[in-house]
Amino acid sequence: MSGEDPVTSDELSAFLRAARHAGSREPGHIDLFTKSQSGASLDLTAAADQLGILYSKIGDGIDVSSDAIDDALGTGR
C-alpha cells in the first residue's frame, strides 16, 4: 500500500471503502493484512486509530466489521 512507510489513515480508509463494496455479497468482516515490498508486515493499528474505527487485532493485521466501517466512514449502501 505504501512501500516501507507506515500505512496512512487515508490509504486505509480508501482500501476499507473499496473492500466494503467489492463483490455482490455483504461482507460481515474484513480481515486486512499488509506487507511491504521487502515482505515485512506493515502496522495498520495507528491508521485505524486515527480513523476512529473499531477493530480487532489479529496477528499482524486487523479485523473490521462492515458495521464499524459504515459507522466510521459512512460507507453504507
Interval 13-61: pLDDT, tens: 998 998 888 877 777 899 999 888 888 888 999 999 999 999 999 999 9
Q: What is the Cα–Cα distance from 42 to 62, expressed in whole angstroms?
A: 11
Length of the chain as a residue count: 77
pLDDT at residue 1 tops 60: no
Residue 38 in domain: yes
Q: Which range marks the domain in which residue 54 is found?
A: 9-73
Task: Report how many domains make up the chain.
Answer: 1
Residue 37 lies in a domain: yes
- Total-model pTM: 0.83
